[in-house]
């Protein structure tokens, strides 16, 4: 693997190999010395054109645990806010000798432009581009599901037969897109539930089923319910009448959580709008994996950085 | 190139039994109790050898040792020169390695670089009282000042030759060949 741009490009074996490496990386977090010398002397640049806390911090922790040098670069407070182009920024980073660039950008496809333009030779990791993909989030979600289901025996296994229901703002969600590709590659069955206005116009070609009724979906007893954030910042039009109505119809409230099978898990990529798409009780219940997802995010990102940066560059 | 068998099943069993006795003997001189012994195999075949030695120690003096695995992939100095390697699980027995005697177990001792990685990895996991090294085959050509404490067989080789250790668990047969 040269870059990680999309989970669509990942084969099943490749994905499972990444999850397995993440299992080894997870052990490091429990040790006295939480550091490996693996990427010593490598430089990783976190290039964030969009706000983020957990993803950026997660990548920073991951790179530092592998002994890489980390440079954080956010649009605010840099020349980017003066209107420097992506090309000039990339060439500047290349001139400074970055080995890996973790990029989050509001434009879908920006990471692929960086990877294929030849402006910079570094490995590119997509940390969320517009409404396109967020591959490391999908990987950590898959990792979290696999750990919950199989525990210590998770190594080498896929997610065959697991049913996943993704609920909420599918239209704007890069998390949903990355998860749809990755989870189906790993053998899971994915269904979507959303208001008609928040489903893409056409999902022909997506390996999923879609519905509008959350109660019916909950009564099917899915193994995983993944709630998505209502992304107010990407909503220029009115997609639903008001927040209370959305919460009543598509929010995971206490009553709906109670109807889920006891073994089902509730996921949310964060940040959560408590009381809107997920109730406080649902978010803090034993079924919720929200904090596990954050912890697993570090392991997954270590695995990705290890995979992309440790080996010899294959031309 | 033709393969030549240098150790057969019985030879390997005998070597491991002797190593087990030597390990216990070396422990007897020290004041620490035998239960402070931790065998850490280096994946892949080292782990299998560690398990076998552990079983032998158990049959000679029950309760003297625990067995684990120590992956050194993340500590290698040649990562940047090869395609990305998949790491193997590290499995440290509960209680950690602090104050214990750790015996590293590997199949072939060659340049000594793997053992250097293992020593680095150990220092990140804790502070053992002592670290010893047991190998099935020592083929020489050291590139670092490292030597084994317990050796199954010293095998003088040429650099071009390759040593293959096969074990029943992974390869269906116990043997060491030189090619």
Q: How far apart are the first and last CA of chain B?
A: 6
Q: How do beta strands B130-138 and B150-154 pair? A: parallel
Interface of B with A (CB under 8 A): 71, 74-75, 79-90, 120, 123-126
pLDDT value for A233: 77
Q: Which of residues 14-53 of A touch B (CB under 8 A)?
A: 17, 20-21, 23-24, 27, 31-33, 35-38
pTM comes to 0.91
Mean pLDDT of A48-58: 90
Could you please report the per-residue DSSP string of B23-62? HHHHHHHSSS-GGGEEEEEPTTHHHHHHHHHHHHHHHHST
> Could B83 and A310 be called an inter-chain contact, meaning their C-beta atoms sit closer than 8 Å?
no
What is the distance between the alpha carbons of residues B55 and B59, in angstroms, rounded to a whole number?
A: 6
Cβ atoms A81, A75 nearer than 8 A = yes
Q: How do beta strands A224-227 and A265-267 pair? A: parallel
Mean pLDDT of A145-156: 92
Over 80: is that where the pLDDT of A238 sits?
Answer: no
Compute CA distances A78 → A75, A86, B5, B76, whole Å: 6, 12, 66, 37
Out of A21, A306, A314, closest to residue B83 by CB: A314
Q: Which CATH number does A7-133+295-309 carry?
A: 3.40.50.1370
Q: Tell me the pLDDT band of A278, cut-offs 50, 70 and 90.
A: very high
- Residue B16: which H helix or E strand, with range? helix B9-29
Structure tokens at A128: 């969320």
Which residue, A40, A42, A67, A72, is CA-closest to A56? A72
Interface A-B, measured as beta-carbon pairs within 8 A, has a size of 51
Chain A residue at shortest CA distance from B87 = A21
Q: Which value does ipTM take for this structure?
A: 0.83
HSE toward the beta carbon, residue A163, CA cutoff 13 A: 14
Q: How far apart are the first and last CA of chain A?
A: 11
> Chain B contacts of A32, Cβ < 8 Å?
124-126
Which residue, B67, B73, B63, is CA-closest to B97? B67
Over 70: is that where the pLDDT of A183 sits?
Answer: yes
Q: Rounded to a whole number, what is the distance in Å from the CA of A32 to chain B's nearest CA? A: 6
pLDDT value for B31: 54
Assign domain A135-292 one CATH number from 3.90.550.10, 3.40.50.1370, 1.10.600.10, 3.90.1150.10: 3.40.50.1370
Percent of chain A with pLDDT over 90: 78
> Could A311 and B89 be called an inter-chain contact, meaning their C-beta atoms sit closer than 8 Å?
no
Out of B74, B88, B89, closest to residue A36 by CB: B74
Structure tokens at A77: 């407070």
Task: Give the model confidence (pLDDT) of A71-82 as tens digits.
Answer: 998 877 777 777
What is the distance between the alpha carbons of residues A246 and A276, in angstroms, rounded to a whole number?
A: 7
pLDDT value for A315: 43
What is the distance between the alpha carbons of residues A173 and A227, in angstroms, rounded to a whole number?
A: 11
Domain ranges within chain A, ordered by starting residue: 7-133+295-309, 135-292
Q: Which long-range contacts (CB under 8 A, 24 or more apart) does A199-208 make?
A: A199/A170, A199/A171, A200/A170, A200/A171, A206/A180, A207/A180, A208/A180, A208/A184
Q: Tell me the pLDDT band of A4, cut-offs 50, 70 and 90.
A: very high
Q: Rounded to a whole number, what is the distance in Å from the CA of B6 to chain A's nearest CA? A: 34
pLDDT value for B113: 95
pLDDT value for B43: 93
Domain A7-133+295-309 shares a fold with domain A135-292: yes
DSSP-derived letter for residue A246 is H
Stronger pLDDT, A86 or A235, i.e. the higher one: A86
pLDDT value for A51: 85
Mean pLDDT of A59-67: 96
What is the phi/psi pair of residue A181, to 5°? -65, -50
Q: Is A315 on the interface with B (CB under 8 A)?
A: no
Strand partners, A192: A166, A210
Below-70 pLDDT ranges, chain B: 1, 29-35
Cβ atoms A278, A270 nearer than 8 A = no
> Could B74 and A306 be called an inter-chain contact, meaning their C-beta atoms sit closer than 8 Å?
yes
Over 70: is that where the pLDDT of A216 sits?
Answer: yes
Assign domain B4-25+34-73+91-178 one CATH number from 3.30.70.20, 3.20.20.10, 3.40.50.300, 3.40.50.2020: 3.40.50.2020
Domain ranges within chain B, ordered by starting residue: 4-25+34-73+91-178
């Amino acid at each position: 693997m040269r870059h990680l741009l999309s989970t669509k490009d990942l084969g099943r074996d490749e994905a499972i190999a990444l999850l397995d490496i993440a299992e080894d990386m997870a052990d490091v977090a429990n040790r006295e010395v939480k550091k490996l010398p693996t990427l010593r002397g490598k430089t990783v640049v976190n290039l964030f054109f969009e706000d983020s806390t957990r993803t950026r911090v997660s990548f920073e922790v991951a790179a530092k645990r592998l002994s890489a040098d980390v440079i954080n670069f956010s649009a605010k407070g840099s020349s980017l806010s003066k209107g420097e182009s992506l090309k000039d920024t990339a060439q500047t980073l290349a001139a400074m000798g970055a080995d890996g660039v973790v990029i989050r950008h509001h434009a879908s496809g920006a990471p692929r432009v960086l990877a294929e333009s030849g402006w910079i030779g570094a490995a590119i990791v997509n940390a969320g581009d517009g409404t396109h993909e967020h591959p490391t989030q999908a990987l950590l979600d898959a990792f979290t599901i696999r750990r919950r289901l199989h525990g210590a025996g998770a190594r080498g296994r896929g997610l065959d037969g697991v049913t996943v229901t993704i609920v909420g703002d599918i239209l704007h969600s890069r998390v949903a897109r990355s998860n749809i590709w990755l989870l189906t590659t790993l053998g899971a069955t994915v269904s979507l539930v959303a208001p008609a206005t928040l489903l893409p116009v056409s999902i022909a070609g997506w390996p999923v089923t879609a519905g509008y009724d959350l109660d019916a979906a909950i009564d099917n007893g899915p193994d995983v319910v993944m709630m998505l954030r209502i992304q107010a910042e990407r909503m220029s039009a009115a997609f639903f009448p008001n927040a209370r109505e959305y919460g009543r119809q598509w929010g995971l409230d206490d009553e709906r959580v109670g109807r889920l099978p006891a073994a089902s898990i509730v996921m949310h990529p964060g940040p959560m709008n408590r009381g809107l798409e997920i109730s406080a009780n649902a978010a803090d219940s034993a079924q919720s994996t929200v904090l596990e997802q954050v912890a697993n995010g570090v392991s997954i990102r270590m695995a990705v950085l290890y995979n992309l940066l440790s080996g010899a560059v294959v031309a | 190139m033709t393969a030549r068998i240098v150790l057969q099943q019985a030879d390997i069993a005998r070597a491991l039994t002797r190593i087990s006795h030597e390990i216990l003997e070396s422990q007897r001189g020290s004041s620490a109790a035998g239960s402070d012994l931790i065998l850490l195999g280096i994946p892949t075949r080292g782990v299998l050898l560690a398990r076998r030695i552990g079983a032998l120690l158990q049959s000679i003096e029950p309760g003297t040792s625990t067995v684990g695995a120590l992956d050194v992939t993340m500590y290698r100095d040649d990562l940047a020169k090869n395609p990305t390697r998949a790491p193997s699980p590290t499995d440290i027995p509960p209680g950690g390695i602090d104050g214990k005697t750790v015996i590293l177990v590997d199949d072939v001792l060659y340049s000594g670089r793997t053992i250097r990685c293992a020593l680095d990895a150990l220092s990140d996991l804790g502070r053992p009282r002592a670290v010893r090294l047991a190998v099935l085959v020592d083929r020489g050509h050291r590139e670092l000042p490292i030597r084994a404490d317990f050796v199954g067989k010293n095998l003088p080789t040429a650099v071009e030759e390759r040593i293959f250790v096969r074990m029943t668990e992974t390869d269906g047969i116990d043997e060491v060949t030189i090619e």
